Homo-oligomer: A and B are copies of this chain.
Amino acid sequence: MSMSTEERIDQLESRFAMLDLVSDYCLGFDKRDFDRFMNIWWPDATWEIGPPFGNFDGHEGITHAVKDVLWPAWKQATHYTTNLRVEFKDRDHADGVCDVDCIGTTSDGLARTVGATYTDRFERRNGVWKIVYRHVKMHHFSELVGVTLAPPQ
């Protein structure tokens, strides 16, 4: 039950590593930084986005999802992840849940608000934490009727 100083520091570092992963998901996706985005997934990871997008397996499937499905679906988007809650299963495995708020413009030119919950499994291999499973449950994916999102001129 009681952890050594080394184990306690390791767990704190692991918590920040997981925060970085969920942040890099947002930053990588929204800034279309493919390397940052892909770097969060283990090669055998599964990304369950569900309808109408589908589920995607491995780096190949995830690359297809982001390059061929999701980036074309959005002109611009910003994802905001909060409420990350981590439960360690052992030193190298952890379950996570967090919420995302997203606002942006889809390819049809409509402003959208999205709310979703991500259920994650994080795994550490050779000292590096990455996501091995992410399930997306969307609460809403809706038009902000009448709103046009644009930067100031």
Contact = CB atoms under 8 A, between A and B. Distances in A.
Contacts of A117: 31, 78
A107 interface: no
Oligomer: number of copies? 3
Given A9-B5, A52-B153, A99 B26 contact: yes
Size class of the contact patch on chain A:
35 or more
Contacts of A141: 150-152
Contacts of A13: 8, 12
Given A82-B82, A143-B147, A146-B146, 4 more contacts: A23-B83, A26-B83, A101-B101, A140-B151
Interface of A: 5-6, 8-9, 12-13, 15-16, 20, 23-24, 26-27, 30-31, 51-52, 76, 78-85, 97, 99, 101, 103-104, 111, 113, 115, 117, 138-153
